[in-house]
Amino acid sequence: MTGERIAIVGVGQTVHKSKRTDVNTAELCAEAVEAALADAQLTMKDIDCVILGSFEPADGYSGPDKWIVPEIGAVGKAGFEMQNVGTTGGVVCATGFNMAASGLFENVLCVAWQKMDEAAGAFGRGGGGANEYWTGQFPMSPITNFARRTYDYMTRSGCTEEHLAMVRVKQDQCAQRNKYAQLKLGLTVEKVMNDFLLAWPIRRLHMCPTTAGSAAIIVCPEQRAKKVSKKPVWVEDWFTCHQGGALTMAEDPQASTLGYACKKIYKRCGIINPKKEIQAWEVYEPASTAELRWMEEVGICEDYTAWKLFEQGRVGTDKEIPFNPSGGVTATNPIGCTPVVRVVEAALQVRGDAEEHQVPGTINRALATAYGGQGENVVFLLKKTL
Amino acid sequence: MAQRVGIVAVAQTKFEEKPGLHIGELLYQASRDVMKQTGLEFKDDGTGIDSTIASGYDLMSGPGGAYMFLGYIVGAWQREDERVIEDGSMAVYYGAAQILSGHADVALVVGYSKETQIDKNLIECLSMDQVYQRRIGLDFVSSAALQAMRYTTKYKITPEQLAKVVVKSRKNAKNNPYAYCCDTITVKDVLRSTMLCDPIRVQEAKPTPVDGACALILANEEKAKKLTKKPVWITGMSSCYDHHELGYRDLANCDSLVTAASKAYKMAGITNPLKEFDVAEISEHYAYQEPLWCEGLGLCGKGEGGKLTDSGKTEMGGELPVNPSGGVLSGIPHCLAGMHSVVECALQLRGEADKRQVKGAKKALAHGVDGPAGQLHCVITLEN
Amino acid sequence: MLKKEEPQDPAVAFRYPRVITYKHSLGYQSKFAHALKMGRIIATKCPVDGRCTIPPRIVCPMHHVRQTEWVDQGQRGKLLSAFKINFPMFDSRTGDLKSWETPIVSIELEGGARMDGWCAEKDTEKLKSGMILEAVWRPPEERKGRVDDILYWKPV
């Protein structure tokens, strides 16, 4: 990297809820921005660039940045809006990192939001990012995609429905300790296994909810970060890896770029044993069952063996593998904003500020990802020291 | 800027109605063209193109459909591929920032738009504030009309002056083989054309629908020098947001453009834009915008845009030819205008603009705009 | 600022109905649509590794070469996986909520391409991966060049 080294100096998010009728979209964003500015002890005057993003079809706007910018006080600043369906938040962060590392700006603010209580139906109507001619004629959605993916995973790995339920219970246990998380249900394996079946083997509890929420981060180049922050979280590397509809689920149900992206980023950062060298994981799993496959792809265990770790009870905030200590996406999912929440949570873990869901011990490195469509991924590595 | 970013190849398709083509084919044509020019492909090991950035509204291309084919059609399967939901100039801006950050050495920037598949105004209306503005039915055309009214009244810009902008644009477009609309037209024809949205007449607005695509390859200084003999350097760039609510700003001024331009000029070390630039490509979606944006860009004083047009300085052969390609008024699709400006400027600086070439052009000014009544501006300065 | 006593109902909302009609061109996919009208399923073939793809693609995603060759895929295929949707979901063709009775199946066709379809057998228990399915078409006069010209797939 020839550009500046960069750090996250402030993070903020709203308390995620299924409905926020008390605010409009812009006010929701303002909440997260205020939280991030307060966290960084900066004011809007210090910010010189804003990067915004949300998954538009799920919100019912086109280019909502235009009317949200004045409401968060960013008139007169440079910036633009990014969008990449499910990985929108990931791309927003990546753009913010690029803008800060380019040396053009001192303080870059990244904001993403989603208010799904307003137009969640539009997402289903649009086919959820489907090819207009081909998959547009089938009822395709993340639910059907993950039904197929999980079905395939179960055939290949030999895990049972009970293991899938164990994953969901672990996520719920984590979410209960996170004050920002949306779903805190007190689940048991029986409860999950008796839940309404959407499309076998996916039950309602396995899928991510619809959420209204927003999150923001503030990024600075090295010199500035050292000046303004006592606990900067350094951004080691990031990689956007998209395959945009290159493979349909029919062609390869396990199609994903996560494994590829992780291998590439580990190589760039000299990580040999990710399980040891990364102490906290915030991975975007739109369905709880995806967590199993993602654990394998990020390099925690061998292919098709992750379910054994759950059987042995080795995954959890205080346990050997702190995977999604925040509760993950099955607890909270404001689509376009979710990846920013992952980065925020990973940064909090590195700083040691995650309060009740803090992973014990020093967190030197944390990994956050974004997921979208049929296997698009953005991977971020954050670390404590330069 | 710590280092310069070079444009090593540019391409554009002919702009016209292409109802029979799939939107991906437009993209394929343009992206393939620049990749052929440089011999570059997407590579894993840093020897080819590292990332791609596209621009365009998601809802314009179809719900969630826009990104589906982008990656694999340009060859970015399992590579970095990101999308800016603004005018194309912002994608160039981001592409250059990505190279400055060192995250990518070579980036492919693409823009594609197919207005024939959707009513543009429907989508633009969805960009407006949903409580106060959409209910009135405001969209980009009606807000432009409000701005035109305010601007022409405040600075006494005459309809003839605006008509001259259109005449000049169509005349220039005749020299541009890619242009959509290049009919011979007189000031009288413009003034007699149907009223679209008072005071904007049909001929004073961007022709629509048009389909097309643009592509360019950006590279860092070292690689750009290796890849081409005629690199075009990006010397300064900036974007700036203004208020969304039309009532919050004086529509006769364009404060955000002034800010964006001054930041970009500072980077590039430009003090007298009218003298120093040899050619300018400005995104004028409506005729009144050319004089107004010229004021914002510092090419003339406040309220003197009309006089600038009258003086003939902006004509071909004048002091600073504005839009030798014909510009947006000759028909450039939505979200592509700014990127098209950069592409045209690059062609001028490479001396490859054929009949529309401004002789000896050394410095060029590209401008893109998005949002109602010019809310978000982007200014990019270029040099050869 | 509103005083506390004044009505301050935060839940005021209004509907904003809007119909957006897209006219998507099929472009290179129109060959596929024409073949459907004739009762045939065709796919593009990658000149590098010979992989057939449905939906047909202008370029091969992996090798980035233009795919110009079209290959007939036959009328039968091997079942890869099947699932049934147990909840009302949006029909992207109409935008309405709808219950889905028939299972969706993934099929590997004789020509090697993989595609989705509906299945005549409603009991998913009876659908075993590897079984052979055959396409059942709409009568020729009703075909519109869309994927639902294939009514469903029937176990042989």
pLDDT of residue A127: 43
**Half-sphere exposure of residue C148: CA atoms within 13 angstroms, side-chain side:** 10
User: Model confidence over B19-57: pLDDT tens digits?
Assistant: 888 888 888 999 999 999 999 988 888 889 999 998 888
Q: What is the least distance, in Å, from the CA of B23 to any CA of chain C?
A: 7
pLDDT of residue B66: 56
Q: Is the pLDDT of residue B363 over 60?
A: yes
Of B22, B24, B62, the CB nearest to C22: B62
Average pLDDT in chain C:
83
pLDDT of residue A121: 56
Q: Is A24 exposed, middle or buried (0-12, 13-18, 19+ CB in 10 A)?
A: buried
**Chain B residues 312-331 with CB within 8 Å of chain A:** none
Quote ipTM for the complex: 0.94
Enumerate the residues of chain B whose CB falls inside 8 A of the CB of residue A246.
71-72, 77
Report the residue of chain B nearest C67, measured CA to CA: B73
- Residue A276's SS3 state is helix
pLDDT of residue A1: 46
Task: Inform me whether the C-beta atom of residue B241 falls under 8 Å from chain C C-beta atoms.
Answer: no
Residues C42/C48, Cβ–Cβ less than 8 Å: no
Q: Which of A264-268, B86-90, B219-223, C4-8 has the lowest mean pLDDT?
A: C4-8
- The pTM for the full model equals 0.94
Report the residue of chain C nearest A144, measured CA to CA: C85
Q: What is the least distance, in Å, from the CA of B139 to any CA of chain C?
A: 14
pLDDT of residue C99: 83
CB-based contact C64 B116, cutoff 8 Å: no
pLDDT of residue B20: 85
What tokens does A100 get?
């800060």
What tokens does C22 get?
């897209």
pLDDT of residue A307: 94
Confidence of residue C88 (pLDDT cuts 50, 70, 90): confident
Mean pLDDT of B105-133: 86
- Residue A217's SS3 state is strand
Enumerate the residues of chain A whose CB falls inside 8 A of the CB of residue C11.
21-22
CB-based contact C24 B62, cutoff 8 Å: yes
Alpha helix ranges (H) inside B8-139: 23-38, 58-61, 66-74, 88-100, 120-125
Q: Return the C-alpha torsion angle B14, C61, A151, C146, nearest 10.
A: 40
Residue with tokens 């009740």: A356
Comparing A63 with B163, the larger pLDDT belongs to B163
Question: What are B53's strand-pairing partners?
Answer: B82, B109
Enumerate the residues of chain C whose CB falls inside 8 A of the CB of residue A141.
89-90
Percent of chain B topping pLDDT 90: 70
Print pLDDT tens along chain A (386 aa): 468 899 999 999 999 998 888 888 899 999 999 999 999 999 999 999 999 998 877 777 788 888 899 999 999 999 999 988 788 999 999 999 999 999 999 999 999 999 888 765 555 444 444 455 555 566 667 788 888 888 889 988 999 999 999 999 999 999 999 999 999 999 999 999 999 988 888 898 998 888 899 999 999 999 999 999 999 999 999 998 887 665 666 677 777 889 999 999 999 999 999 999 999 999 999 898 899 999 999 999 999 999 999 999 999 999 999 999 999 999 999 888 999 999 999 999 999 999 899 999 999 999 999 988 777 889 999 999 98
Residues A57/A122, Cβ–Cβ less than 8 Å: yes
Mean pLDDT of B345-359: 93
Report the residue of chain B nearest A377, measured CA to CA: B78
pLDDT of residue C1: 42
Confidence of residue B67 (pLDDT cuts 50, 70, 90): low
Confidence of residue C86 (pLDDT cuts 50, 70, 90): confident
Enumerate the residues of chain A whose CB falls inside 8 A of the CB of residue B218.
none
CB-based contact B22 C26, cutoff 8 Å: yes
Specify the amino acid at residue C45.
Answer: K
Other beta carbons less than 10 A from residue B184's beta carbon: 9
Of B60, B82, B244, the CB nearest to A94: B82
CB-based contact A66 B371, cutoff 8 Å: yes
Q: What is the least distance, in Å, from the CA of B273 to any CA of chain C?
A: 43
Mean pLDDT of B125-152: 87
* C-alpha distances out from residue A54 to A48, A332, A335, A336, B206, Å: 21, 15, 8, 5, 29
Q: What is the spatial order of strands in the sheet that C132-137 belongs to? A: C114-118, C104-109, C76-83, C132-137, C150-155
Q: Is the pLDDT of residue B258 over 70?
A: yes
Alpha carbon distance A25, A19 (integer Å): 12
* C-alpha distances out from residue B315 to B144, B308, B309, B325, Å: 24, 10, 8, 11
CA gyration radius for chain B?
A: 19
Helix (H), strand (E) counts: chain C: 1, 10
pLDDT of residue A249: 67
Give the best residue of B18, B118, B127 to mutate against chain C (max C CB count within 10 A).
B118
pLDDT of residue A128: 44
**Chain B residues 109-128 with CB within 8 Å of chain C:** 114, 116-119, 122-123, 126
pLDDT of residue C14: 67
Task: Inform me whether the C-beta atom of residue B28 falls under 8 Å from chain C C-beta atoms.
Answer: yes
What tokens does C101 get?
């009775």
pLDDT of residue C73: 92
Comparing A56 with C137, the larger pLDDT belongs to C137
Q: What is the least distance, in Å, from the CA of A3 to any CA of chain B?
A: 4
pLDDT of residue A86: 81
* Distant-in-sequence, close-in-space partners of B312: CB < 8 Å, separation ≥ 6: B318
Confidence of residue B342 (pLDDT cuts 50, 70, 90): very high
pLDDT of residue A109: 96
Q: What is the least distance, in Å, from the CA of A119 to any CA of chain C?
A: 10
pLDDT of residue B257: 95
Q: At what angle do helices B159-173 and B289-296 cross, to 10 degrees?
A: 90
Alpha carbon distance B98, B88 (integer Å): 15
Q: Is the pLDDT of residue B297 over 90?
A: yes
Alpha carbon distance B72, A246 (integer Å): 6
Enumerate the residues of chain C whose CB falls inside 8 A of the CB of residue B117.
22-25
Enumerate the residues of chain A whose CB falls inside 8 A of the CB of residue C93.
136-137
CB-based contact C92 A130, cutoff 8 Å: yes
Q: Is the pLDDT of residue B283 over 60?
A: yes
What tokens does A83 get?
């969008």
Task: Inform me whether the C-beta atom of residue B118 falls under 8 Å from chain A C-beta atoms.
Answer: no
* C-alpha distances out from residue B332 to B58, B96, B374, Å: 18, 23, 17
Of C11, C98, C129, the CB nearest to A21: C11
pLDDT of residue A147: 86
Mean pLDDT of C120-130: 85
pLDDT of residue B189: 93
CB-based contact B260 A78, cutoff 8 Å: yes
Q: Which of A54-58, A271-275, B7-11, C9-13 has the lowest mean pLDDT?
A: C9-13
Task: Inform me whether the C-beta atom of residue B130 falls under 8 Å from chain C C-beta atoms.
Answer: yes
Percent of chain B topping pLDDT 70: 97
